[in-house]
Each structure stands twice: as structure tokens, then as C-alpha cells.
A and B are shown apart, each in its own frame.
Chain A
Amino acid sequence: DVVLTQTPPTLSATIGQSVSISCRSSQSLLHSNGNTYLNWLLQRPGQPPQLLIYLVSRLESGVPNRFSGSGSGTDFTLKISGVEAEDLGVYYCVQSTHAPWTFGGGTKLELK
């Protein structure tokens, strides 16, 4: 199975600060069809996860453009340009290039 390693496990930030989360895969997530199926989710406390980014860098409808995704192959990054209070929670990367789908271990974003 594909292993996704997220770093850091915990991230402390002040409001307005820009932060990045890394997701590294144990194998390339480039599908034979040319797409890279790497998504980012945010789970706020007590809520189900919500989709932020799909196909590495495409912003889900309704998600603020302070969120951006980048990367290719095995290395991916989620960046938040100016953290807001509503961004606090746990971020997960998830891949669906290879069955079974797998999630990263999560990165908890908290206020400093």
C-alpha cells in the first residue's frame, strides 16, 4: 500500500501567518492517465472532513484562495497564505492513484 507521510504532525501559527504542510508518498502518485490523484482535506473539531484541494492543486468550490496545493510525483505541499481562525483543525492528504486509497497521518494546525 502507498504510505503518505505528513510533516509536521503539529503546526503552531499566529493569525495572518503563512504556513506549509508537506505530504510525501512512498511511490509516485502519477496515474497512467496523466492525472495525479492527491487531495487535501481539513477536519475541524467535531466535524467530518471537508475537501479543500483535489488533483494536487485544484481548489474545491467555495474554498478560500488562501489555500493552495503544489507538487508532483512523490512530494506535495499545502500552503495557507495568511492563517485565519476558521482554518484551525487537522489537515490530511489522501491519494487515490493506487488502490487501496490511503490517508496521511494528519497535521494539526493550532494557534500559537
Chain B
Amino acid sequence: VQLVESGGGLVQPGKSLKLSCSASGFTFSSYGMHWIRQAPGKGLDWVAYISSSSGTVYADAVKGRFTISRDNAKNTLYLQLNSLKSEDTAIYYCARSSLQWWGQGVMVTVSS
């Protein structure tokens, strides 16, 4: 099993960014997937979940601004981040449903 995040970087407040998580080594379409973030020096913060049937759940802090989606044909999970705030600065991890497998994470920095 391998999960590889990409798409992070430095972005200004109010702007948008789209993260990707490429999955391999398992039947991607059969599993729910999470995005979880970690601000610098802080603890883990659950962001969003998408089920194998594409049902979604969001943390209140990102509801209406972030969108989780998946493309089973490409074995890829996405997180669209809109209206970014400085408090969204964090390492963003994708993880498989039971948190058994995690990616290495991608850094998102929101700053002017």
C-alpha cells in the first residue's frame, strides 16, 4: 500500500489550492479515505472523509470551504481548498479508512 500526496505550496489568504493523493497497492474504490492535517508543532486535526460510495463528512472548521472528492479510475483522492485562511497552514495527510495507512503528507502554507 502506498499513498502519495501532492499539490501543496505557499498560497495567499483567500486563494485556492487542490491537493491530490495517489493510491496504489489496494483496491482504492473499495475504501473510504480521509484527509487529516497537522499545524506546525500541533496535534492531529481531522478534516474530511469520503466513503467508498462517495458520501462525504467535513469538520466544522472547513465545511463550505473544502471539498473532498475521488476518482476511482485514477486511484486518486482530492481535497479542494478554497477561501484559505492562515489557520489552514498545516501538513495535510491522506489516510485510508481505518487509519491503517497514511501518506507522508504535503505542506500547505497560507501567508501573504
Contact = CB atoms under 8 A, between A and B. Distances in A.
Interface in A8-62: 39, 41, 43, 48-51, 54, 60
Contact of A103 (B45, B49, B103): B45
Given A92-B43, A100-B58, A100-B59, A51 B99 contact: yes
Interface residues of B, number: 18
- Most chain A CB inside 10 Å of its own CB: which residue of B44, B49, B58, B102: B44
B66 interface: no
Nearest to B98: A54
B31 interface: no
Interface of B: 34, 43-46, 49, 57-60, 93, 98-100, 102-105
Contacts of B60: 1, 100
Contacts of A41: 44, 99
20 contacts: A1-B60, A39-B98, A39-B99, A41-B44, A43-B44, A48-B104, A48-B105, A49-B44, A49-B102, A51-B99, A54-B99, A90-B43, A94-B44, A100-B46, A100-B58, A100-B59, A102-B46, A103-B45, A103-B46, A106-B43
B46 A60 contact: no
A71 interface: no
Contact of A101 (B46, B93, B104): B46
Given A48-B93, A48-B103, A48-B104, A103 B98 contact: no
A1 B100 CA distance: 23
A87 B110 CA distance: 33
Contacts of B46: 94, 100-103
A50 B98 contact: no
Nearest to B104: A48
Contacts of B105: 48
Contacts of A99: 57
Interface string A75-95: 000000000000000101010
Given A41-B99, A49-B93, A103-B45, 5 more contacts: A39-B98, A43-B44, A100-B60, A101-B46, A106-B43
